[in-house]
Structure 1
Amino acid sequence: MRHLIFAINITLDGCVDHTKQAVDEEKLEYFTQLMREVDVQIFGRKTYELMVPYWPDVLKNPSETKADTDFARAFDSTKKVVFSRSLESAEDRNTRIVRGGLRDEILKLKLEQGKNILAGGVDVSSQLIELGLVDEYRFVVGPVIAGEGRRLLEGVSLPERLQLKLVESKVFQSGSVALRYLKQ
């Protein structure tokens, strides 16, 4: 069975708003490697619209950095499933829109052959966590105290406390720390 991995950048005070922290080459390389471990990405509409057309457009710009281009290439090559009731159509050729049935769709994807599945963003990922469907958590904690902004799991009531096991950590030159946890 494939694993569902949730990955996100987060500040020391728990802010997951992408505008409150910087993404450097080390972070991009980390997420590029993670992207190569999966063949399906899960998004809600908001996160999808932040990622597309931004990353596919990076591939069209020869002046981008190697880290940006490598991430864009990895991003562009994976299938995407967007859970949305309002998104009319997908700009990306590898994207499928699903109107409902989050739990059933994820369980079906987990049973398919292939690499792992990656979930990003906040809304859909919070629902996946609440449903107990996330197998692995990857947090890249930046050395920033934002003092404001969106927090993970806002408005979500977990049915029970999640106990995770730290299986890997990596310190970046920037002071960010990548933490990899498995669900126990």
Structure 2
Amino acid sequence: MRKLVYGINISLDGCCDHTRFGGGVDVHDYFRELLEDTDLIIYGRKTYELMVPFWPQVAQTQSLNATANAFANTFANIDRVLVSRTLNHVDDEHATIINKNIKDEILKLKQQPGKAISTGGVELPAQLIEWGLVDEFHMVIHPVIVGEGRRLFTEMRLPENLGLKLTASQKFSSGCIALQYDKV
């Protein structure tokens, strides 16, 4: 069965609003390397609209620095699934939409042959975690306290604690720390 991998940037105080802190070359490299081991991305509408069309356009224009352009090139060539109850069509040749039986449809995707499946954002991943579908967690913690903004997992309700095992960590020159946890 394919792994479902969750990746997110957060501040030290748990804020996951990307506009509140910067990224950096090492963070783009980290997430690009994660995407190189995937062949499908699953996003909810809000995260999808943050990522598309921005990154595919950067891949086309090569308008950012070399590291961001490399991330864009990797991202643009991966198939995407948009989970949305409000959108029925997007202008994205790499995207399909799921709007019903979400848990069952994602279970089917996990059972198909292929590389890992990636997800990001807040609401959809929280639901996927509640359903027990996320296998691996990649948290990049930024060395900043923002004090306000959307917090990670505030909407999630688990019947019991979810046991995780730290399997990798990496410190970046920017001061960010990447932590990888696997579901026990």
Same fold, judged at TM 0.5 (above): yes
User: Which runs of 5 or more structure 2 residues have no equivalent in the other structure?
Assistant: none
CA distance in 2, matches of 1:64, 1:138: 24
Which has the larger displacement, 93-102 or 170-179?
93-102
CA distance in 1, matches of 2:11, 2:63: 30
**Percent of aligned positions that are identical:** 48
* 1:52–1:91 Cα contact (<8 Å) kept: no
- SS at the partner of 1:153? coil
Give the letter aligned to residue 143 of structure 2.
P
CA distance in 1, matches of 2:135, 2:80: 19
Runs of 4+ residues deviating >4 angstroms: none
Deviations 1:3-44 (A, max 9, x none): 000000011101111111101111001000000010000100
- SS at the partner of 1:60? helix
The equivalences for 1:85-164 within 5 A come to 85-164=85-164
User: Does 1:165 find its partner at 2:165?
Assistant: yes
**What's the offset of the Cα at 1:69?**
1.1
The equivalences for 1:30-109 within 5 A come to 30-109=30-109
TM-score (norm 1): 0.97
Q: 1:113 to 1:148 in 2, by over 3 A?
A: same
**What's the offset of the Cα at 1:63?**
3.8
Give the letter aligned to residue 157 of structure 1.
R
Give the letter aligned to residue 177 of structure 1.
I
Give the letter aligned to residue 165 of structure 2.
K
Equivalent pairs, count: 184
**What's the offset of the Cα at 1:106?**
1.3
CA distance in 2, matches of 1:5, 1:110: 11
Give the letter aligned to residue 36 of structure 1.
E
* 1:130–1:158 Cα contact (<8 Å) kept: yes
**What's the offset of the Cα at 1:171?**
0.1
* Matching residue of 2:21: 21
Root-mean-square deviation (CA, aligned residues, Å) is 1.0
* 1:40–1:79 Cα contact (<8 Å) kept: yes
Give the letter aligned to residue 24 of structure 1.
G
**What's the offset of the Cα at 1:153?**
1.4
Which has the larger displacement, 55-64 or 151-160?
55-64
* 2:138–2:179 Cα contact (<8 Å) kept: yes
**What's the offset of the Cα at 1:155?**
2.2
* 2:123–2:155 Cα contact (<8 Å) kept: no
Which has the larger displacement, 101-110 or 168-177?
101-110
**What's the offset of the Cα at 1:91?**
2.3
CA distance in 1, matches of 2:18, 2:68: 16
